[in-house]
């Protein structure tokens, strides 16, 4: 049945049918009253997702443009920055900072592990001139959720550096309290836990960050956040916004609010626990520890079979798409995305398909054992302990 596709990668993620329908409402002019009403309704509803009272600005672009916007608005050529590198997206922050000739230091962490806040503290004590710390909240390439609250606290205790966080593959899928935790700039994209196609960046900045942005002479135009903040006061966008995706965003927010953000986050934690339990039962080695693992994506590093063979097999048999490894983990891991429009029932189905794939490539597993482990986690969560 070619119509049926199972997209279980850490973004883009499947789109809910009601969001699809919302996206094809009649086009409107972006300078019209109708557009301003739409935009004005959306901004305040994004604030709880970020955990901020600041405006959440929306750019027509994909996630990397959001990372670059944070960099060129907050930092200028020659200034010292620390980039925490826990995987491929930490590398990307480094590339962006080096492109703009910042004075870049890296804090490299073994891929699959989370950064230790003490290491950040130690660096900053030795480098008091650091202007910003770039950190990946969920490192998509390794399925690690870095302890962003503790990192922000560590920075605050030792430095005036801004905390700039890439939340692309977790915001909307995990608790985030930007203001309370002291994150200065937080970025996410539309195509992950926000349940939309790619093409929107969401970004917010603290008062401290805005003061830095206002004083920053680093050139930028399309990514100039001051322009977006100014237009947002008038419920508009400085450049033509991606109207159809904003229509979809309104419906995606309806869905999230109807479930309740607390329940959305709880569902993501449950899906993580179900997958990890299945992996343990099937003796599939998890790349990350329970503590470091993200609620939105899980990585498995098989030793007894070829990750790529498994991915090909499930793709062929079920149109189930899993992600592979990136850069230094290429060919060594496979990753299961479980965020956004994805339920515990979808995870049970994914695990059953995964077991069949493992069986077909000759891996030594017992059919149903992973599924049963995930089922038990689900029942336990529902208070129906057997």
Nearest approach, Cβ of residue 110 and a copy of itself (Å): 24
- CA distances to 17, 70, 119, 344 from 187, rounded to whole Å, are 26, 8, 23, 27
**Whole-angstrom distance, CA of residue 251 vs CA of residue 249:** 5
Question: Tokens 């607390």 belong to which residue?
Answer: 262
- CA–CA distance, 277 with 219 (Å, rounded to integer): 49
Binding of residue 11 to a copy of itself (CB under 8 A)? yes
Instruction: Tell me the closest approach of the beta carbon of residue 239 to a copy of itself, in angstroms.
Output: 4
Residue 13 or 288: which CB sits closer to a copy of itself?
13
Stretch that binds a copy of itself, among 106-114, 129-137, 238-246, 294-302 (CB under 8 A): 238-246
Map tokens 């309806």 to a residue. 254
Phi, psi of 105, rounded to the nearest 5 degrees:
-110, 145
- Site size toward a copy of itself, by CB under 8 A: 51
The torsion defined by the Cα of 361, 139, 342 and 15, in degrees rounded to 10, comes to: -110
Q: Is 335 annotated as a binding residue?
A: yes
Closest Cα partner for 63 from 189, 157, 177? Answer: 189
Q: How far is the CB of 212 from a copy of itself (least distance, A)?
A: 18
- Respond yes or no on whether the N-terminal peptide bond of residue 238 is cis (omega within 30° of 0): no
The whole-angstrom separation of Cα 102 and Cα 42 is: 34
Burial of 319 (0-12, 13-18, 19+ CB in 10 A): middle
Q: Is 32 in the site for a copy of itself (CB under 8 A)?
A: yes
**What 3-state DSSP class applies to 110?**
coil
* Rounded Cα gap, residues 151 and 153, in angstroms: 5
The answer to the question of residue 245 lying near a copy of itself (CB under 8 A) is yes
Distance of alpha carbon 251 from alpha carbon 262, whole angstroms: 18
- Interface with a copy of itself includes 244 (CB under 8 A)? yes
Does 23 help bind a copy of itself (rule: CB under 8 A)?
yes
Q: Which of 39, 50, 100, 137 binds a copy of itself (CB under 8 A)?
A: 100
28 is a site residue for a copy of itself (CB under 8 A): yes
**CB closer to a copy of itself, 101 vs 382:** 101
> Is 61 among the residues that bind a copy of itself (CB under 8 A)?
yes
Query: Nearest distance from residue 340's CB to a copy of itself, in Å?
Result: 10
Q: Is 18 in the site for a copy of itself (CB under 8 A)?
A: no
264, 173 contact by CB (below 8 A): yes
- DSSP class of residue 323 equals B
| Candidate ranges 15-23, 228-236, 289-297, 351-359; the one touching a copy of itself (CB under 8 A) | 15-23
Q: What is the SS3 assignment for 334?
A: strand
Q: Are 132 and 80 in contact (CB under 8 A)?
A: no
d(CA 378, CA 380): 5
Identity of the residue, 49 or 223, whose beta carbon is nearer to a copy of itself in the bound complex: 223
- Decide if residue 215 touches a copy of itself (CB under 8 A): no
Min CB(321)–a copy of itself separation in Å: 6
Tokens at residue 54, please?
Answer: 């600041």
Per-residue mark of binding to a copy of itself, 286-325 (x: CB under 8 A): -----------------------------------x-x--
Residues of this chain, 192-211, that bind a copy of itself according to CB under 8 A: 197-199
Considering only residues 55, 68, 91, 139, which one is a binding residue for a copy of itself as defined by CB under 8 A? Answer: 68
Residues that bind a copy of itself (CB under 8 A): 5, 7, 9, 11-15, 20-21, 23-24, 26-32, 60-65, 68, 95-96, 99-101, 189, 191, 197-199, 219-224, 239-245, 321, 323
């Amino acid at each position: 049945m070619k119509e049926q596709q199972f997209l279980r990668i850490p973004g883009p993620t499947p789109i809910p049918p009601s969001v699809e329908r919302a996206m094809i409402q009649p086009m409107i002019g972006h300078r019209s009253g109708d557009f301003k009403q739409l935009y004005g309704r959306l901004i305040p509803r994004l604030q709880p997702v970020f955990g901020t009272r600041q405006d959440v600005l929306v750019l027509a672009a994909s996630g990397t443009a959001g990372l670059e916007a944070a960099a060129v608005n907050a930092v200028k050529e020659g200034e010292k920055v620390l980039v925490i590198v826990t995987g491929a997206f930490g590398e990307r922050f480094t590339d962006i900072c080096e492109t703009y000739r910042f004075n870049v230091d890296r804090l490299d962490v073994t891929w699959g592990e989370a950064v230790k806040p003490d290491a950040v503290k130690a660096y900053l004590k030795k480098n008091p001139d650091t202007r910003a710390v770039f950190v990946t909240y969920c490192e998509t390439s390794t399925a690690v959720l870095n302890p962003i609250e503790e990192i922000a606290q560590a920075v605050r205790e030792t430095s005036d550096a801004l905390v700039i966080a890439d939340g692309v593959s977790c915001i909307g899928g995990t608790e985030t309290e930007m203001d309370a935790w002291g994150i200065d700039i937080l970025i996410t994209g539309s195509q992950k836990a926000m349940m939309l196609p790619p093409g929107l960046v969401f970004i917010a900045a603290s008062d401290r960050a805005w003061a830095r942005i206002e004083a920053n002479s680093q050139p930028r135009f399309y990514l100039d956040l001051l322009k977006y903040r100014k237009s947002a006061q008038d419920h508009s966008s400085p450049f033509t916004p991606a109207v159809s995706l904003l229509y979809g965003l309104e419906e995606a927010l309806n869905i999230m609010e109807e479930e309740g953000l607390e329940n959305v986050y709880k569902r993501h934690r449950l899906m993580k626990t179900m997958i990890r339990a299945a992996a343990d039962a099937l003796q599939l080695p998890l790349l990350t520890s329970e503590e470091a693992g993200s609620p939105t994506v899980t990585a498995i590093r098989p030793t007894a079979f070829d990750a790529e063979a498994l991915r090909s097999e499930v793709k062929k048999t079920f149109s189930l798409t899993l992600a592979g490894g990136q850069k230094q983990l290429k060919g060594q891991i496979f990753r299961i995305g479980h965020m956004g429009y994805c339920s515990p029932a979808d995870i049970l189905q994914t695990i059953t398909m995964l077991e069949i794939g493992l069986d077909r490539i000759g891996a030594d597993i017992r059919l149903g054992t992973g599924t049963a482990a995930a089922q038990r986690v689900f029942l336990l969560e529902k208070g129906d302990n057997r």
